[in-house]
Amino acid sequence: MFRPCGLFDETYAKNIAIVRTRQHWILIIIGLFIFLTFPLYLSGRILHFINLLGITLIAVQGLNILTGFTGQISLGQSAFVCVGAYTSALLTVHLNFSFFLALPCAAIITAVIGTIFGAPAMRIKGFYLAMATLAAQFLIPWMVTNVRTDLTGGSQAMHVPAPSIGGFVFNDQQSIFYIIIPITCLSIFLIRNLTRSRVGLAFLAIRDNDLAAETMGINLTKYKLLAFFICSFYAGVAGSLWAHWMRAISPDQFNLMESVWYLGMIIVGGMGSVIGVVYGVLFIKVFDISIILIGPRLTSFLPPQLAQDTAAGLAPFTFGMIILVFLIFEPRGLAHRWEIIKGYFRLWPFKY
């Protein structure tokens, strides 16, 4: 956040504090109040987009812990979201669990499964680890489609009940907003604190140089598995929210392209930055919606079949170009650019 020129921290506790001044507290309280009143005056379409942002943020924040902070590449985050979604759906549909009990159960089960798939990280890394997590991306949806189809519905959509408390049902965008957004804010707050803790510093040490980290006494096995556990835990939370928000799920919703999009959001926002993930998710999702809206207009002058094919491939092509531009010109992402802008205004007009 912005701080006036000349204001500095006198203690270490103030230096690591998330909110550092009274003005920041006032701005945050006002901002949260305005944000929580969105359902009162925003349309269902806009709230749908905000809810989608919240669920995506949870999944990408988990992946950022694994990839951005620990340096372990994963191409299977969408598959772990699938585990969370189907676990929560099965618990609520077949065992009559409440959503508020199914969500933590789904998160823990997903975390355990993610840790199992992360076990190869003890022996391999880099490209080979990416291939190991890619196996989860193909294996998990295949199991949902072909194993116990009487429970999961196979390739057909599985209908999921809406969350409810007593007689009140969260069955529209306005009401479920008050479930998704508080959980999203809590997840970001917990991640922000985790990255400043001893565990977070161990993750950074492993990312920078795992051999040096091991020499300093960091248990690589423990912390790598812990990173996979946290990453998958967040994916399970996102999957559970997705299932009860969409009300119908199928394996096609959790494909490899979604995992690639998650990685792209981290690259655009800034690897290893909590606020960068917010920027990356917002940037990519707004871009995706914009392409869907303006794509038909851009291709309207082409023949019908060619226009349809071009519009279908426009989003992946533009997404690839954006990733390429960021890797070349802004490899540290939007978070780094925002820090530069803040630094400029913090010292203005005394730039020297």
Q: What are the residue ranges spanned by the domains of the chain?
A: 44-254, 256-352
DSSP string, 200-221: HHHHHHHHH-HHHHHHTT--HH
What is the predicted pLDDT for the residue at 50? 93
Contacts 24+ apart (CB under 8 A), 19-23: none
First to last CA, the chain: 21
CA atoms within 13 A on the CB side of 349: 0
| Beta-strand relationship, 158-159 and 164-165 | unpaired
What is the predicted pLDDT for the residue at 223? 93
Distance CA 30, CA 179 (A): 20
Distance CA 220, CA 209 (A): 11
What is the predicted pLDDT for the residue at 15? 64
What is the predicted pLDDT for the residue at 7? 64
Distance CA 44, CA 142 (A): 34
What does DSSP assign to residue 154? T
Which parts of the chain register pLDDT below 70?
1-9, 11-17, 298-300, 302, 305-309, 311-312, 349-352
Distance CA 317, CA 105 (A): 38
Tokens 């965008």, residue located:
173
C-alpha 238 chain-centroid distance: 8
SS3 at position 69: helix
Distance CA 67, CA 60 (A): 10
**In this structure, what token pair is assigned to residue 83?**
């585990």
What is the predicted pLDDT for the residue at 204? 92
- Nearest CA-CA partner of 206 in 125, 120, 290: 125
What is the predicted pLDDT for the residue at 150? 86
What is the predicted pLDDT for the residue at 259? 92
What is the predicted pLDDT for the residue at 5? 57
